[in-house]
Structure 1
């Protein structure tokens, strides 16, 4: 039986993954750009203090909370949940192909590679409804991309991700899939469930204090790539989920909703085609 994951454990795992990802590379930004962005951020914070007459007690509570975010390793979670959706919108606003959305804090590179059609790695007794996830990858001009690669990862039926919760096999529900000679992929997996982001740490304190909820709708994570094309990072959602309209991460887009077909044997299947933009 899987032991409950703690916010500190999953948060620190997310922090370690970020450090290993290479995304800490130095950003070449002009002094003027740094001054503008940092200045606007600091001004916005000071405007809140002045407009809402923040007290010293509230100020010190904020300092204590910021320290706890770091101690719990939850900066990746906080930033990915509350800010990344806007950064993603800016970064992909030029695209003509499929819509993307946030990566989130639980991506792990170098997942085992398989040739489609294939079954994602899972436990023999993996809980949930079997789901066949299939479709085609093409370029914006309609040409099938026969050298495309579809990475898929998602939470299990209990809302836990492998490598971020104890007692789950390393690559459970994670895989990279090579398309066939028509650019098609077919992956057998299990339908994930909605889950709450960790609430026993600093982010949970903020959510509770604000009276918000911590739920994310059920979703599949994907990264779709092909030579000469821009990488697409997306999450795909299930129709009818009660949290599609109030996702704590604000990442749901209408174009990312799946069309689910119920089969006679009680399993489900869905077809979703990806369209990639050429590198400019």
Structure 2
């Protein structure tokens, strides 16, 4: 038996029971809730609903443990084993988008460059879809893994993502709307950074002044150190300067 699992599960169950007592939840309401969860599972939306309401809390817990760049939501659209790339993420030729360069330096909390770190980068298409998830976008597009050079630097070309709605017609979207909330996420870039001996960092970078950065439906954008990148262009190309700082792994 895992004492940690027992401790967490017992607390969750006690909290739910206390809420049911406080709000005098009836059998009819309880059954309606169970049916909702059943349908949610059948439609494959449990990860989506969980990310909307709970992922940001787990992220904040982690941010209290590790120094350096703040963690952020991984999201439901991460896929392992993205192709390794050198300087360009593959995009669709028939989908127009603003050219973008993602670049930066990876350092330790002591300021030392981290060479040979692996950055797994993924983001939406210029029309708000994810490769390998949505129809018509091959899995090897809009995703890629790049290795930092001897100076801990990286640079890749891609196209700029846009804000998008989470599935608003699904059960998660319907619940958000029932509660008076919207279903939009700001444009963002996901980065997962790995290097032996360092804590694996999963974060997002957002566009300064972009729509929905002030009220992200998933609470991914927080006000204390999350990556919001100032608008910058060079030769008509949007530049995202994303420097990341890794902390040592807690053993």
Superposition TM-score tier, normalisation by shorter sequence = over 0.9
Summarize the Cα distance change of 1:34–1:186 in structure 2 as closer, same or farther, 3 Å threshold.
closer
State the shift of 1:264 in Å: 4.2
- Provide the C-alpha distance between the structure 2 equivalents of 1:214 and 1:47, rounded to a whole number of angstroms: 29
Aligned to 2:207: 238
User: Tell me, what secondary structure is at the counterpart of 2:232?
Assistant: strand
Aligned to 1:52: 23
Alignment of 1:146-225 (within 5 A): 146-225=115-194
Given that 1:80 and 1:249 are in contact with CA atoms closer than 8 Å, whether structure 2 keeps it comes out as yes
User: Tell me, what secondary structure is at the counterpart of 1:189?
Assistant: strand
Alignment of 1:16-31 (within 5 A): 29-30=2-3
- Provide the C-alpha distance between the structure 2 equivalents of 1:192 and 1:147, rounded to a whole number of angstroms: 27
Deviation per residue, 1:206-247 (Å, 9 max, x gap)? 112212111111100001122221111001111112311211
TM-score by length of 1: 0.83
Given that 1:127 and 1:156 are in contact with CA atoms closer than 8 Å, whether structure 2 keeps it comes out as no
- How many equivalent pairs are there? 248
State the shift of 1:173 in Å: 0.2
User: Tell me, what secondary structure is at the counterpart of 1:101?
Assistant: coil
- Provide the C-alpha distance between the structure 2 equivalents of 1:144 and 1:99, rounded to a whole number of angstroms: 18
- Provide the C-alpha distance between the structure 1 equivalents of 2:195 and 2:222, rounded to a whole number of angstroms: 23
User: Tell me, what secondary structure is at the counterpart of 1:81?
Assistant: helix
Aligned to 1:63: 34
Q: Which runs of 5+ in 2 are unaligned?
A: none
User: Tell me, what secondary structure is at the counterpart of 2:28?
Assistant: helix
Given that 2:163 and 2:211 are in contact with CA atoms closer than 8 Å, whether structure 1 keeps it comes out as no
Alignment of 1:224-263 (within 5 A): 224-254=193-223, 255=225, 256-263=227-234
State the shift of 1:56 in Å: 3.5
- Provide the C-alpha distance between the structure 1 equivalents of 2:107 and 2:234, rounded to a whole number of angstroms: 27
TM-score by length of 2: 0.92
- Provide the C-alpha distance between the structure 2 equivalents of 1:218 and 1:190, rounded to a whole number of angstroms: 12
User: Tell me, what secondary structure is at the counterpart of 1:113?
Assistant: coil
- Provide the C-alpha distance between the structure 1 equivalents of 2:175 and 2:42, rounded to a whole number of angstroms: 15
Given that 1:147 and 1:227 are in contact with CA atoms closer than 8 Å, whether structure 2 keeps it comes out as no
Deviation per residue, 1:171-209 (Å, 9 max, x gap)? 110000112221110111111111111122221221122
Given that 2:121 and 2:144 are in contact with CA atoms closer than 8 Å, whether structure 1 keeps it comes out as yes
Given that 2:104 and 2:244 are in contact with CA atoms closer than 8 Å, whether structure 1 keeps it comes out as yes
- Provide the C-alpha distance between the structure 2 equivalents of 1:45 and 1:279, rounded to a whole number of angstroms: 34
Q: Which runs of 5+ in 1 are unaligned?
A: 1-27
Aligned to 2:249: 279
